[in-house]
Amino acid sequence: MTNRQLIIVGFMGSGKTTIAREVARRLNCVVIDLDDFITTSTGRSPAEIIQQNGEPGFREIETRLLDEVLRQNLAAIIAAGGGAWTIPENRRRISKVGAKTVWLDAPFELCWKRIQSNEEARPLAPSREAADQLYQNRRPVYELADLRITIADGESVDEVAARIVSLI
């Protein structure tokens, strides 16, 4: 990997955390899940922070902790939260450190299926309609990522991770 940090972006339920783990295993490098880092650093999950402080309060914390991760400059695969890449300030910081980004472009139906079946609370996707709207609004921003991996329903984690590794 020429860039030390690879950031996996994409909508909620696109598989960022799982894929990041497998890519890191294959490349023998560290994996950092930004949502987990937020939880351990603040003692609250992203969902709790959004519910208690509102989305702007969460984004402030997210930007600060993303910055902390980027500054560590570890050879790492970083799974971002679904909204992190949509914030211009975050994109600016990511590009400043020269990290590479990969968009997991998963179909809405697949993301929604996972959002629904997952125990993790997603306050920004309270209904199918709201999630779909957010998904559509964010697509043009996800497109700004360096690489795009189109994911088909039924594709295995191994297949997706292998494709990413072959591209970087």
Residues interacting with ligand S3P, by CB under 6 A? Answer: 12, 16, 35, 46-47, 50, 81-83, 122, 124
Closer by beta carbon to ligand S3P, 27 or else 46: 46
Smallest gap from Cβ 62 to ligand S3P, in A, equals 7
Closer by beta carbon to ligand S3P, 22 or else 35: 35
- Can you count the helices (H) and strands (E) in the chain? 7, 5
Nearest of 19, 28, 32 to residue 157 by alpha carbon: 19
Concatenated DSSP letters for 90-120?
A: HHHHHHHTT-EEEEEE--HHHHHHHHHH-SS
Smallest gap from Cβ 63 to ligand S3P, in A, equals 12
Smallest gap from Cβ 2 to ligand S3P, in A, equals 26
Contact 1/72 with Cβ under 8 angstroms? no
Closer by beta carbon to ligand S3P, 98 or else 133: 133
